[in-house]
Structure 1
Amino acid sequence: MSWKVQPISDLCLHSVDCVNRTAPVVEEPTPYKMIRTTNVKGGFIDTTNVRYVTLETYERWTRRLLPQAGDVILTREAPLGDVGRLTSDDRVFLGQRLFHYRADPKVLDSGFLAYVLQSPRVQGWIRGTGMGATVEHARVGDFHKIPIPVPPLKVQTKIGGILSAYDDLIENNRRRIALLEEAARLLYREWFVHFRFPGHEHVKITEGAPEGWERLPASEAFEVNPKTPRNDEGIIRYFPMAALSETGMVIGRGPMEEREKSTSVRFRNGDTLLARITPCLENGKTGYVQMLEDGEIACGSTEFIVLRQRRVSSYYVYLTARQHDFRENAIRSMIGSSGRQRVQPNCFDRYFVAVPPELLAKLFDEAVGEMFDQVGNLDQQNQKLSQARDLLLPRLMNGEIAV
């Protein structure tokens, strides 16, 4: 099937580059959120892991175009060609290296636009415009000219509806994952930070821990960078730093590679991965490994610290690693040149955790273990939904499937 091809700017009410300078941010959350290239991925825009600005900055940075639900964002650099569609009414604005499209509803469905930009044909054109030996980027002018195949508007709407059904399920699962993780973190803080565990009314706190508990350095409660032997024959999965999230436990499969040789950093299901280098640690990059096959060993970036259960469960280890004061303790130990500072392993000798009696530990693990399992199941569902959508997308865009 042959569809007419037109430049994207002819099909949009607006096609606008971002303000190409850094907006001044503030520490405390505000209603005004900055979207960066890291927020734009796979058709989605993450509006939770953001930086914040004042109203004055927000108004200055949105004077060209005020983002609204349905708008499509494209990354122009680092990386080139990632696509996301705004689905909320959050007050967001574009950081650097982003391009902003608003479809003309008379000729172009906004959902179709988000998906056609992800199609192999259009992605190939975008990547063909890339320049730069170190950081691939595209000229602003090229992003006005992207050739878009344009079926009739009714066909566009149907294609967008079919593919968005998958993405709606994925997004719903992501919300459930976030709620489950937040529930696990709240329970951890309630029991092990505020010491409001079952029966706490009858237990005294002495020397920083309830009576009957142990207060141990993290280096004794956890295994830090444990040796994980593996038969070096055969392919091994490798996860780079990009696979770790700044906000949640799920480790991304997208950046995963298959290698013939392992790095020195190896891990298995139940391990926690913690970034040891600046600024990844400060930004919160941490993950819980539960996406591997039974018995599988994977490897990762040499900038990972691997934490493994010893005196406490794997759930306890991960939830501790997500604590602000745990990360601050690690940050204070960093040494090295500016921009390449790394955590020193002896910092875990100076961070103490409260280890509960066996019965309380079992009750906690049963409660949060169900939450972790649900997160793992939802993540697997999302992987299957993404694969099904990605198989359908090029066939719909090529007209191979009649709608």
Structure 2
Amino acid sequence: MAEVNRAQINARSAPKELHYIDISSVSPGQVNNITTYVRADAPGRARRIVQHGNVLWSCVRPNRRSHVQVMHHEPCTIASTGFAVITAKKVPFTFLYLATTTDDFVAYPTNNATGAAYPAVTATTFEKAELLVPPALLLMIFGDATTPMAEEIHTLQRKIHNLRHTRDLLLPRLLSGQIEVEAA
């Protein structure tokens, strides 16, 4: 129903500029920061090509639930090789994301992680994961109902990000007196 790590860049196919998502910039359900690099300055782990609707799941410490569904990314968005990039094939991308973020699913990579100090899984762990899949008609109805919701969530998250950025620019200026507010 999905592919894991379907596409990655190499030295010949690397874009001149890339927008990089690293593991530390992802918290449950959102990307907190994307760093732009020129190819020569990009980290060596910047290899996984990201597409609209992909699910990014951190292979490191899966119990932390560092996952996100990528929506309307910038061109040349690349994720760290520390992620499993999961691409929906036979199910709506919204179904795949919701199915891979349930408590039961999170228990699967958490229980299959190796390493005591730095528990991690591989992409193969995600490839072997089993999910219950409803009949095709029900999947289609689900996708039709949830895709607009995912789009709205994305739009609202971008607005929140822009408002926070604006607040962070204005607040220090207001407090320092650089900007004055007049009473109406």
1:244 corresponding residue in structure 2: 26
Q: Please list the CA deviations of residues 199-237 of structure 1 after superposition, one character each: whole Å capped at 9, or x if unmatched.
A: xxxxxxxxxxxxxxxxxxxxxx11111114584232111
Query: Aligned partners of 1:276, 1:240: CA distance in 2, in Å?
Result: 12
Q: Which amino acid aligns with 1:309?
A: A
Which of 29, 32, 37 is the equivalent residue of 1:259?
37
> Unaligned stretches of 5+ in structure 1?
1-220
- Structure 2 residue 65 is the aligned partner of structure 1 residue 287: no
1:269 aligns with 2:49: no
Partner of 1:383: 161
Q: Give the whole-Å Cα distance in 2 for the aligned partners of 1:358 and 1:343.
A: 30
The correspondence of residues 7-86 of structure 1 with structure 2, limited to 5 A, is none
Shift of 1:398: 2.8
**Counterparts of 2:124 and 2:16 in 1: how far apart (Å)?**
34
Q: Distance in 2 between matches of 1:291 and 1:398?
A: 37
Tell me if 1:303 matches 2:98.
Answer: no
Q: TM-score, normalised by structure 1?
A: 0.40
Q: CA deviation at 1:265?
A: 2.2
Question: Shift of the alpha carbon at 1:353?
Answer: 2.2
1:29-49 Cα shifts (integer Å, max 9, x gaps)? xxxxxxxxxxxxxxxxxxxxx
Name which one, 1 or 2, has greater alpha-carbon Rg.
1
Displacement of 1:308: 0.7
Please show how residues 2-401 of structure 1 align to structure 2 within 5 Å: 221-229=1-9, 231-246=13-28, 249-253=29-33, 256-261=34-39, 263-278=46-61, 281-293=62-74, 296-336=75-115, 338-401=116-179
Q: 1:242 to 1:345 in 2, by over 3 A?
A: closer
Task: Check the 8 A contact 1:268/1:297 in 2, yes or no.
Answer: no
Contact 1:240 1:300 in 2 (8 A): yes
Q: Shift in Å at residue 383 of structure 1?
A: 2.1
Q: AA paired with 1:274? A: W
Q: Specify every segment of 5 or more residues in structure 2 that has no aligned partner in the other structure, as ranges.
A: none
Given that residues 286 and 321 in structure 1 are in contact (C-alpha distance below 8 angstroms), is that contact kept between their aligned partners in structure 2? Answer: no
* Cα deviation digits, residues 1-46 of structure 1 (max 9, x gap): xxxxxxxxxxxxxxxxxxxxxxxxxxxxxxxxxxxxxxxxxxxxxx
Pair 363,341 (structure 1): closer, same or farther in 2 beyond 3 Å: same
Q: Aligned partner of 2:31: which letter?
A: I
Q: How many pairs were matched up?
A: 174
Rate the CA distance shift 1:368–1:398 in 2: closer, same or farther, 3 A.
same
- Work out the CA distance in 2 between the residues paired with 1:356 and 1:228: 31
Using CA pairs under 8 Å that are at least 6 residues apart, name the structure with larger relative contact order, 1 or 2: 2
How many percent identity over aligned positions?
Answer: 24
**Counterpart contact for 2:9–2:47, Cα < 8 Å:** no
Offset of residue 350 of structure 1: 4.1
- RMSD of aligned alpha carbons: 2.1
Paired with 1:313 and 1:340, the residues of 2 have a C-alpha distance of 33
Secondary structure of the equivalent of 1:238? strand
Alpha-carbon distance in structure 2 between the residues aligned to 1:306 and 1:252: 17
> Aligned partner of 2:67: which letter?
T
Distance 1:361 1:339, change over 3 A: same
Q: What do the CA deviations read for 1:232-252 (whole angstroms, capped 9, x no partner)?
A: 232111122222223xx2221
